[in-house]
Amino acid sequence: MREFTDEEFKRKMKITFDYNYAMKDYLGTDGAVTKDEINSYKDKCRDIIIEIKKQRQDGALPYMDLPYAAEEALEVKQLAQKVRYMCDDFVVLGIGGSSLGAIALMQALKNPFHNMQTADEREAPRMIVADNIDPDWFKAIFDVVDDDRTIFNVISKSGSTAETMSQFLIALAHIKDKIGANYNNNMIVTTDAKSGALRTIVNKEEFASLVVPDGVGGRFSVLSAVGLFPAAVIGIDIDELLAGARFMDEQCQNEDVTQNPAAISALIYYLYYKKGRNINVMMPYSSALRDIADWYRQLWAESLGKKHDLKGNIVHTGQTPVKALGVTDQHSQLQLYVEGPDDKIITLIRVLEFEGEVVIPDDTNNIQGLDYLGGKTLSELIGAELTATEITLMKNQKPNCMITVPKVNAFTLGQLMYMLEVQTSVMGMLMNIDTYDQPGVEQGKLYTYGMLGRTGFEEKNEEIKSQRQKDNRFVV
Ligand code: PA5
């Protein structure tokens, strides 16, 4: 329940994007972005924002309308409410865009040790996201859950991804074996409304199911049932998440690039990309936001890493996303960021108010060199370290931006994720590529099908075999 009116709440919880230290005014160096450069892109960015609105109206960007899908959200909440009481363990089977959003939301919005809390403390099932097929790791899940009190949620837009389908078949056999007649209560399917093997199975087995809306690709699906259902099951307020996304949507409609957080951030990254900064580092100073950087890594990499532009020219575009965690990676990565090559644009994330507070005991008077810490809080310390990092980077002419999140909650998370999605769309248009396909991933899938004997992929298998015969030349 909010303590403020909607308008007050929005004012207090508005996230901001600050690009001061990405500008030549602060960095002083010739390679830095200037106001003139930004101005020279104003018209192009306005055209892009208008084009995005047009595509959206034409139904080509349905991810942008997910925050307004009230009926779907209600369906998700109703099913989640039921499921919460039916299980102690909720196991998501999915990969890539079908899993990273749920992981990020759980890490951000639940107790960091949610899965280790007692049932009373956590007031919601544990959630395990099985996003890999390492046999030891996957098998171990079945050892730690109670079969009768476990519900699986298989999530696959295509309904055919080999990894997810294998997990599904294993889990299905397991529940048939352990649960008996009513096994279908222990499996919920999230997939396309009509197509794919999973939908066929849903119809046959009468599993409860949710829909991945038409045209919403995996990495843009966190605000659909893909991300919302797992979130709702573990007790995240999905209405607030969607309200935050809608609030950001209002800002992302602004046709003036300097007033539009998604567009200006995309433009800054684009201008630096053109200047040879091929790496985009996201570094939240918040453990809660650690996996947002992971989710973003997929969004950015799969959307923008492309061989062809929209005209079919070979361009090999893409800016490698890197995730780092403040303060942990100050002791791992920061040396490279400060003194290494000029190939990065860095975005730090500051949280203004942490949920809890920890005070460092004030009895350090006699301990030389530690007395300055006494009586300080950990949020003061993390805030000071973040400021120190941004200023150090700036003084070393390393461009960096800052996303400020007033507090980590469902409303700010909705804003942040929506902004990063629209930012990716704008970046794709600046790069003139297809943001929404992933042909490079498809190629690997075809080889896998061939090797595993899928009908129709025999040629791929032959290709692999003949390649393998030549592969012994450089092995030590
Ligand atoms: O973003 C994407 O499109 C991909 O990462 C997919 O989410 C991933 O490949 C899983 O696909 P699916 O949901 O069809 O199983």
Does 462 have pLDDT greater than 80?
Answer: yes
Q: Which atom of ligand 1 is nearest to the CA of 438?
A: 3
Residues 130 and 227 in one domain: yes
From the number of C-beta atoms within 10 Å of its C-beta (0-12, 13-18, 19+), residue 135 rates as exposed
In a domain, 157, yes or no: yes
Residue type, position 267, single letter: L
My answer on whether 224 and 339 are in the same domain is: no
- Kindly state whether residue 176 falls inside one of the protein's structural domains: yes
State the residue range of the domain holding 199. Answer: 63-238
**Of 186, 216, 238, which residue constitutes the final position of a domain?**
238
Q: Which residues contact 304 (CB under 8 A, 6 or more apart)?
A: 317, 318, 319, 424, 427, 428, 431, 433, 435
At CB < 8 A and 24+ separation, what contacts does 223-226 make?
A: 223/63, 223/66, 223/67, 223/414, 223/417, 223/418, 224/63, 224/66, 224/69, 224/72, 225/72, 225/75, 225/76, 225/190, 226/94, 226/97, 226/98, 226/101, 226/102, 226/155, 226/157, 226/190
**Residue 222 sits in the same domain as residue 294:** no
**Together in a domain, 250 and 229:** no
Q: Is 156 in the pocket of ligand 1 (CB under 6 A)?
A: yes
**Judgement on whether residues 298 and 384 belong to the same structural domain of the protein:** yes
157 touches ligand 1 (CB under 6 Å): yes
Is the shortest distance between the CB of 164 and ligand 1 below 6 Å? yes
Which residue has a Cα nearest atom 12 of ligand 1? 156
Residues 45 and 72 in one domain: no
Of the three residues 195, 212, 238, the one that is the final residue of a domain is: 238
Co-location of 371 and 388 in the same domain: yes
Cβ(302) – ligand 1 distance below 6 Å: yes
Find out whether the beta carbon of 131 lies less than 6 Å from any atom of ligand 1. no
302 is catalytic: yes
- pTM across the whole model: 0.96
Answer whether residue 122 shows pLDDT above 80. yes
Q: Tell me, yes or no, if 311 is annotated catalytic.
A: no
Q: What is the pLDDT of residues 370-429, one digit of tens each?
A: 889 999 999 999 999 999 999 999 999 999 999 999 999 999 999 999 999 999 999 999
The overall average pLDDT reported for the chain is: 96
End-to-end CA distance of the chain: 63
pLDDT digits (tens, 9 = 90+) for 128-164: 999 999 999 999 999 999 999 999 999 999 999 999 9
User: Do the domain assignments include residue 470?
Assistant: no
Q: Measured from the CA of 191, which atom of ligand 1 is nearest?
A: 13
Identify the CATH number of the domain in which residue 229 sits: 3.40.50.10490
Total domains in the chain come to 2
Residue with tokens 């998700």: 76
10-67 pLDDT, tens digit each: 999 999 999 999 999 999 999 999 999 999 999 999 999 999 999 999 999 999 999 9
DSSP state of 360: P
Rounded distance from Cα 281 to ligand 1 centre (Å): 23
The answer to whether residues 53 and 94 belong to one domain is no
Let me know if 331 is a catalytic residue. yes
Is there a domain that residue 371 lies in? yes
115 and 259, same domain (yes or no) = no
Q: Are strands 16-18 and 400-407 parallel, antiparallel or unpaired?
A: antiparallel
352 domain-assigned: yes
Residue 93 has what DSSP assignment?
Answer: E
Atom 9 (ligand 1) nearest CA: 96
Residue among 161, 164, 297, 434 whose CB has most ligand 1 atoms within 8 A, to mutate: 161
Position 464 in a domain: no
Q: Taking a C-beta distance cutoff of 8 angstroms, is the pair 394, 27 a contact?
A: yes
Does any domain span residue 93? yes
Q: Which helix (H) or strand (E) holds 406?
A: strand 400-407
Please, which pLDDT band fits residue 1 given cuts at 50, 70 and 90? low
Residues 215 and 319 in one domain: no
pLDDT-based confidence at residue 6 (cuts at 50, 70, 90): confident
Task: Assess whether 76 and 155 both reside in one domain.
Answer: yes
Question: In this structure, are 151 and 278 located in the same domain?
Answer: no
User: Is there a domain that residue 465 lies in?
Assistant: no
Cβ of residue 244 lying under 6 Å from some atom of ligand 1: no
Residue bearing the CA closest to ligand 1, atom 3: 218
